[in-house]
């Protein structure tokens, strides 16, 4: 069954020509078709898939190809794709055909990967359940009454149901890691600056990072190595050695010091999650790792801090959607003010409008110091906390989310409880560090449980190494929802 | 009691880079609409800014030239507001930490010299243009200008008259062209000025100010400020209050009016642009820029006075822009026997007049510095008189021919042979009996008439000094 | 921190959003809740802490002053809601 093979196995079959890229992509196109009820994709263009697959086959036949050549993937619909709709989950961009490719899209296309389609997402990446999408909610392949998480919910559902072997996502406060946890997947948010943001529609520029949503650390490492690297078009792109995470997966983790922040194991966490994480820690210990308690004293301030900084940046980033040059324009505007206000009010959904308002408020005259500057000071404290903790350990470990996947509609009327879902993830974005979520078990309802590893700046290879060693001795990452096994 | 006006200027200087401040689009003026707007300039979703090194260097040059503190770390911030020619819905500018801090510049009005403080100068991007011609009652947006680098130079409120404001504006205009960071073209909008004006009783606190926009020529600046001062005095003397607002100067009607349609109370919500880390000018770069600075107008004026024994007025005229000063020195370099005064008079006189008539700059002059030097050499060695030289100059301008060829072809060589001059003098005296008698009776001013007749007879070619001498001899003998 | 409907209208105006009366009271309620959450920042003493605008401590990279972009007007105007004679069109702007 092609959809259960790892990227390494697929690559070797593509190389020895026992499998063609056309055949492989068709397999996934069929699966996407059959699973349309999940609503994981916004756009699928079979014709383009075929063209890309044929050209990959041609390259493969020359024998000189990138390791990922011919492997299909799904892109979150936040990445601009030339000649293809790039909606960002919003009515505002429902008619937007991008005239250019994002750097990530270009890099992976140059490697010979085949774009299966664009995945559903929370509108402008604002949400933790994929319910803010203008294209409707995505269903969790593990339970159709549950959300897949967000904002990269479509990518997670697609990989979870094996509609794609791997997908891209973006993470501003947990948007890769939380859906990965909810769908039993391995999701990596790289260090800020590791992956180019050029062509990735901005939500909060100082927090956004693109990364892989994968079935395993091994797959994730391959995609990370291919999608990352310095980009002169992104002034915040880090200019140093390229990522070689794949080459470091086999390293021993004996002697690894794991930091356990007491704040991540306090009340309020689902006991089933605590238990699964504890068992995973024991497994890592059995591989030679040691644990140490660390302190992240300001982590409770992470959510309030994040909900000032992210909306503030977003309120400004989303000003370009004004109905003038592209995207949605209201019918028959009577004057300029009408054009602006109706295009934006009709084009944006409620959560996007709410965040624009929070952000505009936090930056407005008289409130800037109390909100925006205060949040930036807390941001430094949070970052300093991590620095101090990393003096005593190599990685930090905890649960990815306080609960497993919640019910559809359960939190749509309660933004605060939705926001609290990011409690363990968003401090990582504030500090610009890499974070990895990987599956470590199931709760009683049969829903996947995710565990998070946080690394030092630019050390995602260590996270993937630890995760890979764990996955070598466990099978959680191999579990597939029953309906999608065959 | 008298009113005192308080004026501060904000000058927007378009920096002369080849490409835009945050994208690789051309900044050339006059292209077809939107042909120089990249995806970055049009703010497509997902695009990001990348800073132009040259724009930063140009800003530092200005800062060093006005003795300002250079902030070696400066921050780009977003200024948020909606306008159709502002594609991102924010302008990338500098707010709390601009690249150029406090400096100053000296101005002269009449005999008085005064120091004007410069509060700051910051880098920012220009907006596009809204074209209000008829598109079925709609406005057209051209983004070619969007993203052109600007240096906004903010003065302290140190000026006390329209004349001072104009002197300051001219001083900055001269300086930015010396530094070669701006072409100074006001018609094309490369050099724009807003003025903040308020009135007070001398010694009082600052009054409420109005901001005047759209004053895009030196002439209009003076007029617009004068008008605004009168308007404010009238308001105040009627017991009213000046409203803090933006006013537009209408040069046709010579009035200022409040800008409707634009919101009065802006809340720009500045915050550091997360797409752009801090701009850092390291000490080596700073030292290199310092070394690369050209001789500045004031230094040049002082040197011209000292080296060429010119008056302050002559030297200032020659140094008003760098190209004029260079032209002057090129003429002297070609022929070091020429006197600086002769060259200065020619550049300030004939050449400038001709350039103005043809609306050309000195770099576009049809007579090069070398050719002018050759012409003046002929004046210097008495081949031709100064008056004939003006005719030769005009021929040179029109034909591009060398002065010697023109002198030769037209037979303009000066008559310095005393025998030849004597015969002309005799001829003129012979038919001017009345004037000769008048002279002898003590009316010496008829001498001018006689000289004129002699010059006319020689078709301007007689050496005037010799004519004078021989004529006097004959009359007094 | 209580956010009134008038506050909502004022903030919405900054973001060029049009909010009707019914939605305004709804937003006022949720924004009040969110700003209460945000107020938890005040439990942290930050008097001596320097604001952190960015997760990276790096300098701005600078590019050479070269024209690298070509004319892409047709691509831009093709996706524009309204364009004519090479220009984007908007309802008449009054100055």
Distance from CA of C53 to the nearest CA of B (A): 7
- CA gap A477, A4 in Å, rounded: 11
Per-residue pLDDT averaged across B345-353, rounded? 93
Q: How confident is the model at residue B134 (pLDDT cuts 50, 70, 90)?
A: low
pLDDT per position as a tens digit, A276-290: 999 999 999 999 999
Overall size of chain C counted in residues: 95
Chains in contact with B, where contact requires at least 3 CB pairs less than 8 Å apart: A, C
Q: Which two tokens stand for residue A232?
A: 């002169």
- Token pair, residue A400, equals 């990815």
Chain C: nearest CA to A114, how far in angstroms?
A: 25
Chain B interface includes C80 (CB < 8 A): no
The C-alpha atoms of residue B435 and residue B457 are separated, in whole angstroms, by: 16
Kindly indicate the confidence band of residue B190, based on its pLDDT and cuts at 50, 70 and 90: very high
Nearest to C37 among A207, A307, A338 (CB): A307
- Give the end of a domain, one of A350, A377, A404: A377
Residue B284 and residue B170 in contact, taking contact as beta carbons nearer than 8 Å:
no
Mapping DSSP to helix (H, G, I), strand (E, B) and coil, where does residue A148 land? coil
How far is A26 from chain C, CA to nearest CA, in Å?
31
Q: Which of A224, A123, A218 is nearest to A168 (CA)?
A: A224
A222 in the same domain as A149:
yes
Model pLDDT, residue B147: 98
| Strand-by-strand arrangement of the C87-91 sheet | B129-135, B138-142, C87-91, C83-84
CATH number at residue A95: 3.90.1300.10
Cα within 13 Å of Cα(A197), Cβ side: 31
Mean local confidence (pLDDT), A397-415: 95
Model confidence at A132: pLDDT above 50: yes
Determine contact: A327 vs chain C, CB below 8 A: yes
Cβ-defined contact of A100 to B39 (cutoff 8 Å)? yes
> In this predicted structure, what is the pLDDT of residue A398?
97
Tell me the pLDDT tens digit for each residue of B165-186.
Answer: 999 999 999 999 999 999 999 9
* Joined tokens for residue B443: 């009316």
Can you give the pLDDT at residue B365?
A: 93
Contact at 8 Å (CB) between B124 and B90? no
Please check whether residue A197 touches B, CB under 8 A.
yes
Q: Which residues of B touch A (CB under 8 A)?
A: 39, 42-51, 78, 80, 82, 84, 87-90, 139, 141, 267, 269-271, 274-277
End-to-end CA distance of chain C: 38
Cα A333 to Cα A342: distance, rounded to the nearest angstrom: 8
Catalytic residues of A: 76, 151, 175
User: Predicted confidence band at B257 (pLDDT cuts at 50, 70, 90)?
Assistant: confident
Same domain, A333 and A231: no
Residue A305 buriedness (CB in 10 A; 0-12 / 13-18 / 19+): buried
Instruction: Please report residues of C whose CB lies closer than 8 A to that of B279.
Output: 59-60
Grouping H, G, I as helix, E, B as strand and the rest as coil, residue A186 is strand
Decide if pLDDT at B259 tops 80: no
CA separation for the pair A302, B293 (Å, rounded): 49
CB-CB under 8 Å, C16 with B277: no
The maximal CA–CA distance of chain A, rounded, in angstroms, is: 70
Average pLDDT, chain B: 91
> Quick one: A214 and A119 in the same domain?
yes
C15·A345 Cβ contact <8 A: no
* Alpha-carbon gap: A312 to the closest alpha carbon of chain B (Å): 9
The angle that helices B369-380 and B386-399 make with each other, rounded to 10 degrees, is 150
Contact yes or no for C93 and B132 at CB 8 A: yes
Residues 15-74 of C with CB under 8 A from B: 16, 53-54, 56, 58-69, 71-73
Alpha-carbon span B293 to B290, nearest angstrom? 5
State the pLDDT at residue B436: 87
Q: Looking at chain A from residue 283 to 302, which residues have their Cβ under 8 Å from any Cβ of chain C?
A: 298, 300-301
In whole angstroms, what is the distance from residue C43 CA to residue C45 CA?
Answer: 7
- All residues of chain C having their beta carbon less than 8 Å from the beta carbon of residue B277 are 54, 56, 58-60
Distance CA B464, CA A461 (A): 94
Residue with tokens 């996706």: C79
DSSP structure class, residue B243: -
DSSP of C37-94: HHGGGGGS--TTPPP---S---PPPEE-S---PPP-HHHHHHT-SSEETTEEEEEPPP
Beta strands in B183-295 (DSSP E): 191-200, 210-215, 246-250, 255-258, 271-272, 279-280
Inform me whether the C-beta atom of residue C88 falls under 8 Å from chain B C-beta atoms: yes
Q: Quote the minimal CA–CA distance from B316 to chain C in Å.
A: 34
In this predicted structure, the answer to whether residue B263 has a pLDDT above a threshold of 60 is no
Buried b (16+ CB within 10 A) or exposed e, A214-231: bbbbbbbbbbbbbbbbeb
> What confidence score (pLDDT) does residue A57 get?
97
Report the pLDDT value the prediction gives residue B260, as an integer from 0 to 100: 55
Contact A42, A120 (CB under 8 A): yes
Interface contact flag, C62 B140, Cβ < 8 Å: no
Interface probe, candidates B85, B269, B270, B280, chain A, greatest A C-beta count within 10 A: B269
Beta strands in B244-346 (DSSP E): 246-250, 255-258, 271-272, 279-280
A93 belongs to a structural domain: yes
DSSP assignment string, B13-34: EE---SB-SSSS-B--TTPSTT
Task: Examine residue A392 and state whether it is found in any structural domain, yes or no.
Answer: no
Chain-centroid distance of CA A229 in Å reads 18
With cut-offs at 50, 70 and 90, classify the pLDDT of residue A377.
Answer: very high
- Which of A193, A345, A430 has its CB closest to that of C17? A345
* Lowest-pLDDT range of A467-471, B252-256, C6-10: B252-256
Res B455: pLDDT: 86
Spatial separation of the C-alpha atoms in residues A392 and A333, rounded to whole Å: 61
**Unique residue bearing structure tokens 């010396």:** B178
**Would you kindly state where each structural domain of chain C is located, as residue ranges?**
5-42
Pair (A59, A174) in one structural domain:
yes
Whether residue C40 lies within 8 A of chain A, CB to CB, comes out as yes
Phi, psi of B179 (to 5 degrees): -75, -10
Task: For chain C, give the mean pLDDT.
Answer: 94
| pLDDT recorded at residue B469 | 87
Backbone angles phi, psi at A32, to 5 degrees: -60, -45
- Which range is least confidently modeled, A78-82, A391-395, B231-235? B231-235
The reply to whether A23 and A153 lie within a common domain is yes
Angle at B471 between CA B465 and CA B477, to 5 degrees: 135
Query: What local confidence, expressed as pLDDT, does residue C95 receive?
Result: 59
- Total CB pairs under 8 A between chain B and C: 126
**Omega before B395 within 30 of 0, i.e. cis:** no
Q: Look at B251 and B322; give whichever has higher pLDDT.
A: B322
**Cβ contact, residue pair A99, C78, below 8 Å:** yes
Q: Do the chains contact at C86 and B17, CB–CB below 8 Å?
A: no
CATH architecture of B418-476: Orthogonal Bundle (1.10)
Give residue for tokens 């003590």: B442
Residue ending a domain, choose from A345, A377, A409: A377
Of chain B, the percentage scoring pLDDT greater than 90 comes to: 67
Q: What is the mean pLDDT of residues B373-381?
A: 90
Q: What does the alpha-carbon distance between residue A321 and residue B82 come to, in Å, rounded to a whole number?
A: 10
Asked if residue B122 lies in contact with residue B98, where contact means CB atoms within 8 angstroms, the answer is yes
The encoded tokens of residue A265 equal 């194991």
Tens of pLDDT, residues B98-115: 999 999 999 989 889 999
Cβ neighbours, 10 Å, residue A319: 24
A198–B47 CB contact, under 8 Å? yes
Question: What is the phi/psi pair of residue A110, to 5°?
Answer: -65, -30
Concatenated DSSP letters for B120-161?
EEEEEE---EEEEEEETTEEEEE-SSTT-EEEEEEE-S-B-S
pLDDT of residue A53: 98
Q: What's residue A244's pLDDT?
A: 94
CA distance linking residue C40 with residue A306, whole number of Å: 12
Summarised one tens digit per residue, pLDDT across range A158-194 is: 999 999 999 999 999 999 999 999 999 999 999 999 9
- Please state, in angstroms and as integers, the Cα–Cα distance from residue A467 to each residue in A185, A203, A212, following that order: 12, 29, 14
CA distance B143 to C88: 9
Residue among C60, C76, C86 minimizing CB distance to B32: C86
C35 touching A (Cβ < 8 Å): yes
At residue A258 the predicted structure's pLDDT band, cuts being 50, 70 and 90, is very high
Chain C residues within 8 A of B257 when measuring between CB atoms: none
- Distances in Å between the alpha carbon of B474 and those of B423, B447, B452, B468, C43? 12, 12, 16, 10, 109
Hey, of A189, A357, A379, which one would you mutate to test binding to chain C, going by the most C CBs within 10 A of its CB?
Answer: A357
Which residue on chain A is closest to B34 by alpha carbon? Answer: A325
Residue-range domain boundaries for chain B: 4-285, 295-410, 418-476
User: Cα separation of B356 and B104, whole Å?
Assistant: 32
Burial of B447 (0-12, 13-18, 19+ CB in 10 A): middle
3-state secondary structure of A190: coil
> In Å, what is the CA distance from B85 to each residue of B52, B127, B139, C89?
22, 6, 10, 11
The pLDDT of residue A268 is 76
pLDDT over threshold 80, residue A267: no
Q: Is any Cβ of chain B less than 8 angstroms from the Cβ of A316?
A: yes
Report the C-alpha gap between B454 and A129 in whole angstroms: 105
Beta strands in B202-348 (DSSP E): 210-215, 246-250, 255-258, 271-272, 279-280
Is residue B262 over pLDDT 80? no
CA distance B301 to B33: 43
Contact between A319 and A359 under an 8 Å Cβ cutoff? The reply is: no
pLDDT of residue B327: 95
Q: How many domains does chain A have?
A: 2
* A437-455 confidence digits (pLDDT tens): 999 999 999 999 999 999 9
Contact at 8 Å (CB) between A53 and A146?
no
The B4-14 sheet, strands edge to edge: B103-109, B112-125, B149-155, B4-14, B191-200, B210-215, B246-250, B255-258
Residue contact B47–A199, C-beta within 8 A:
yes
Q: Residue A26 phi/psi, 5° resolution?
A: -65, -40
Between strands B51-52 and C62-63, the pairing is parallel
| Mean pLDDT score, B120-143 | 91
Residues 6+ apart with CB under 8 A from B110: none
Within-domain flag for A152: yes
Instruction: Give yes or no for A360 touching C (CB within 8 A).
Output: yes
Structural domain range at position A316: 300-377
Residues B241-261, mean pLDDT to the nearest whole number: 81
Give the pLDDT mean for A254-281: 94
Specify whether the CB–CB gap between A147 and A137 falls below 8 A. Answer: yes
Q: Are B138 and B254 in contact (CB under 8 A)?
A: no
Sign for the pseudo-dihedral over CA of A125, A127, A131, A137: positive
Chains that contact A by 3+ CB pairs under 8 Å? B, C
- Residue among A430, A153, A457, A198 nearest A313 (CA): A430
Q: Confidence class of residue B261 from pLDDT cuts 50, 70 and 90?
A: very low
Q: Which of residues 21-80 of A touch C (CB under 8 A)?
A: none
Examine the fold and report which residue of A340, A356, A377 is the final residue of a domain before the chain moves on.
A377
């Amino acid at each position: 069954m092609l959809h259960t093979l790892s990227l390494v196995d697929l690559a070797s079959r593509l190389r020895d020509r026992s499998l063609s890229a056309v055949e492989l992509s068709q397999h996934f196109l069929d699966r996407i078709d059959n699973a349309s009820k999940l609503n994981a994709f916004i756009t699928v263009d079979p014709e383009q898939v075929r063209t890309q697959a044929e050209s990959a086959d041609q390259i493969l036949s020359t024998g000189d190809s990138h390791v990922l050549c011919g492997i299909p993937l799904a892109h979150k619909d936040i990445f601009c794709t030339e000649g293809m709709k790039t909606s960002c989950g919003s009515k505002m961009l429902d008619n937007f055909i991008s005239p250019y490719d994002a750097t990530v899209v270009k890099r992976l296309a140059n490697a010979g990967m085949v774009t299966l389609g664009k995945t559903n997402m929370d509108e402008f990446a604002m949400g933790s359940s994929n319910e803010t999408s203008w294209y409707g909610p995505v269903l969790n392949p593990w339970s159709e009454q549950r959300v897949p998480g967000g904002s990269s919910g479509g990518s997670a559902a697609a990989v979870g149901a094996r509609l794609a072997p791997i997908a891209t996502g973006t993470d501003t406060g947990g948007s890769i890691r939380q859906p990965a946890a909810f769908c039993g997947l391995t999701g990596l948010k790289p260090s800020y600056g590791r992956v180019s943001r050029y062509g990735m529609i901005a939500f909060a520029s100082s927090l956004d990072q693109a990364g892989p949503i994968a079935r395993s650390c091994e797959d994730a490492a391959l995609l990370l190595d291919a999608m990352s690297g310095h980009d002169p078009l992104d002034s915040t792109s880090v200019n140093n050695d390229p990522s070689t995470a794949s080459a470091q997966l086999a390293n021993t983790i004996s002697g690894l010091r794991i930091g356990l922040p007491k704040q991540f194991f306090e009340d309020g966490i689902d006991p089933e999650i605590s238990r699964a994480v504890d068992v995973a820690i024991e497994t890592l210990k059995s591989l030679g790792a040691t644990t140490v308690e660390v302190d992240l004293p300001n982590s409770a301030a992470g959510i309030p801090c994040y909900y000032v900084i992210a909306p503030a940046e977003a309120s400004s980033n989303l000003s370009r959607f004004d109905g003038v040059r592209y995207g949605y324009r209201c019918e028959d505007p009577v004057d300029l003010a009408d054009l602006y206000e109706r295009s934006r009010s009709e084009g944006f959904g409620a959560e996007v409008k709410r965040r624009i308002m929070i952000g505009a408020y936090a930056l407005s005259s008289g409130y800037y110091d109390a909100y925006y500057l205060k949040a930036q000071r807390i941001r430094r404290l949070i970052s300093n906390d991590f620095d101090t903790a990393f003096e005593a350990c190599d990685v930090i470990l905890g649960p990815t989310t306080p609960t497993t996947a919640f019910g559809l509609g359960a939190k749509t009327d309660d933004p605060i409880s939705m926001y609290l879902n990011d409690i363990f993830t968003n401090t990582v974005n504030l500090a610009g560090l890499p974070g990895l979520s990987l599956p470590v078990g199931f709760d009683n309802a049969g829903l996947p449980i995710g565990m998070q590893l946080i690394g030092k700046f630019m050390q995602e290879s260590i996270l993937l190494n630890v995760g890979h060693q764990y996955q070598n001795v466990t099978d959680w990452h191999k579990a597939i929802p029953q309906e999608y096994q065959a | 009691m008298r009113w005192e006006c308080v004026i501060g200027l904000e000058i927007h200087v378009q920096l002369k880079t080849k490409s835009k401040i945050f994208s690789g689009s051309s900044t050339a003026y006059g292209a077809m609409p939107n042909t120089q707007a990249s995806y970055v300039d049009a703010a497509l979703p997902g695009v990001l800014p990348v800073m132009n090194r040259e724009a930063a260097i140009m800003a530092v040059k200005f800062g060093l030239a006005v003795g300002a503190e250079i902030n070696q770390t400066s921050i780009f911030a977003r200024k948020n507001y909606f306008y159709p020619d502002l594609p991102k819905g924010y302008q990338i500018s500098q707010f709390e930490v601009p690249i150029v801090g406090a400096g100053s510049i000296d101005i002269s009005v009449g005999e008085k010299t005064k120091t004007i403080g410069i509060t700051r100068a910051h880098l920012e991007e220009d907006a596009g243009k809204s074209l209000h011609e008829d598109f079925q009652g709609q406005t057209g947006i051209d983004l070619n200008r969007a993203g052109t680098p600007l240096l906004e130079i903010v003065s302290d409120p140190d000026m006390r008259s329209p004349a001072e404001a104009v002197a300051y504006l001219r001083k900055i205009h001269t300086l930015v062209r010396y530094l070669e960071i701006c072409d100074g073209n006001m018609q094309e909008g490369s050099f724009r000025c807003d003025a903040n004006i308020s009135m007070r009783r001398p010694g009082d606190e600052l009054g409420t100010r109005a901001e005047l926009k759209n004053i895009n020529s030196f002439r209009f600046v003076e007029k617009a400020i004068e008008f605004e001062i009168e308007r404010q005095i009238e308001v105040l003397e009627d017991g009213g209050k000046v409203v803090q607002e933006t006013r537009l100067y209408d040069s046709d009607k010579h009035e200022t009016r409040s800008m409707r349609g634009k919101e009065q109370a802006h809340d720009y919500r500045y915050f550091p642009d997360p797409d752009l880390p801090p701009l850092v000018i390291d000490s080596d770069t700073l030292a290199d820029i310092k070394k690369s600075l050209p001789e500045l107008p004031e230094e040049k004026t002082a040197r011209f006075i000292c080296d060429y024994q010119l008056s302050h007025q002559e030297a200032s005229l020659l140094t008003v822009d760098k190209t004029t000063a260079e032209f002057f020195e090129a003429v002297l370099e070609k022929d070091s026997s020429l006197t600086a005064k002769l060259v200065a008079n020619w550049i300030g006189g004939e050449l400038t007049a001709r350039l103005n008539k043809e609306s050309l700059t000195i770099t576009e002059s049809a007579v090069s510095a070398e050719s002018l030097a050759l012409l003046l050499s002929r004046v210097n060695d008495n081949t031709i008189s100064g008056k004939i030289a003006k005719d030769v100059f005009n021929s040179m301008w029109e034909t591009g021919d060398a002065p010697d060829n023109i002198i030769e072809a037209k037979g303009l060589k000066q008559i310095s042979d005393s025998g030849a001059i004597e015969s002309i003098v005799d001829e003129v005296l012979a038919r001017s009996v009345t004037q000769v008698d008048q002279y002898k009776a003590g009316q010496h001013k008829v001498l001018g008439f006689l000289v004129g007749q002699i010059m006319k007879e020689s078709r301007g070619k007689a050496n005037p000094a010799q004519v004078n001498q021989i004529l006097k001899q004959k009359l007094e003998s | 921190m209580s956010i009134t409907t008038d506050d909502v209208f004022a903030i919405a105006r900054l973001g060029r959003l049009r909010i009707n009366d019914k939605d305004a009271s709804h937003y006022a309620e949720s924004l009040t809740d969110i700003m209460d959450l945000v107020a938890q920042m005040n439990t942290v003493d930050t008097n001596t802490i320097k604001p952190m605008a960015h997760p990276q401590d790096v300098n701005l990279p600078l590019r050479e002053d070269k024209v690298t972009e070509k004319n892409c007007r047709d691509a831009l105007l093709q996706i524009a809601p309204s364009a004519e004679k090479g220009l984007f069109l908007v309802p008449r702007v009054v100055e």
